[in-house]
């Protein structure tokens, strides 16, 4: 069976948690597409060549979740040749047998416009920055909350305003605003949406 769940939205809106939970619930494979761009950003050198020569070990680096990797990813992700080098891998993953969940920025709009389910997960910039700051260690974190908020805004701005595959909801995406939702409620909503289409 081929069944694709596309989950898009800005940084730290809850896409990752929702995607992993949906994949586990239905036995689908999950691809965090942000990791591809993070790996290209952290590999250094010419980003287009890096994207064309990405290998599994590049995705296993332990610094891919850092703020620096997020910023580097957002910069290389604005290059059309980087995006096109990563397209076939994502599309193949999406149509694998047994079902797939992909989370990112352009899954429902560009990578899988025919996905069976499209969710656009969002939350206010302040709430997303607070979640990311707490993930980084809160008061013990190297960055202050204000620095994290500035980076979230900068990344939103770059991701939404680039000319190639900008971050925006597909016209047929189901919107999920997690600002005032518990993660359990957000997951339950996503699971119910997928169940209804299966
Ligand atoms: O989801 P994330 O924070 O790991 O993504 C890091 C950056 O990669 C994000 O700021 C924009 C880019 N990205 C993208 O352009 N398209 C995707 N499908 C996933 C991520």
pLDDT in tens, 33-43: 999 999 999 99
Determine whether the shortest distance from the Cβ of 70 to ligand 1 is under 6 A: yes
Q: Work out which ligand 1 atom sits closest to the CA atom of 16.
A: 1
Domains annotated on the chain, with CATH = 4-179 (3.40.50.300)
Give residue 1 CA to ligand 1 midpoint distance, Å: 28
From the alpha carbon of 37, which atom of ligand 1 is closest? 8
Q: Where are the beta strands (DSSP E) in the chain?
A: 4-8, 29-32, 100-104, 117-122, 174-177
* pLDDT value of position 41: 97
Tell whether pTM > 0.85.
Answer: yes
- The beta-strand segments (E) located in 1-80 are 4-8, 29-32
The token pair that represents 19 in the structure block: 């995607």
pLDDT score at 156: 96
Low-confidence ranges of the chain (pLDDT < 70): none
130 lines ligand 1 (CB under 6 A): no
pLDDT of residue 67: 85
């Amino acid at each position: 069976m081929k069944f694709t769940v596309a989950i898009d939205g800005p940084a730290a809106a809850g896409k990752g948690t929702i995607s992993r939970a949906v994949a586990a619930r239905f036995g689908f494979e999950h691809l965090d597409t942000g990791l591809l761009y993070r790996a290209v950003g952290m590999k250094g050198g010419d980003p287009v060549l890096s994207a064309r020569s990405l290998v599994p070990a590049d995705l296993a680096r332990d610094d891919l979740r850092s703020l620096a990797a997020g910023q580097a990813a957002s910069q290389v992700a604005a290059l059309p040749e980087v995006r096109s080098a990563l397209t076939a891998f994502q599309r193949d993953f999406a149509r694998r047998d047994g079902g797939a969940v992909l989370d990112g920025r352009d899954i429902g709009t560009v990578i899988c416009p025919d996905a069976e389910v499209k969710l656009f997960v969002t939350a206010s910039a302040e709430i997303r920055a607070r979640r990311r700051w707490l993930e980084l260690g809160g008061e013990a974190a190297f960055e202050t909350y204000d620095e994290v908020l500035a980076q979230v805004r900068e990344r939103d701005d770059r991701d939404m305003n680039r000319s190639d595959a900008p971050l925006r909801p597909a016209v047929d995406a189901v919107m999920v605003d997690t600002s005032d939702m518990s993660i359990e409620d957000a997951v339950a909503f996503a699971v119910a949406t997928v169940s209804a289409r299966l």
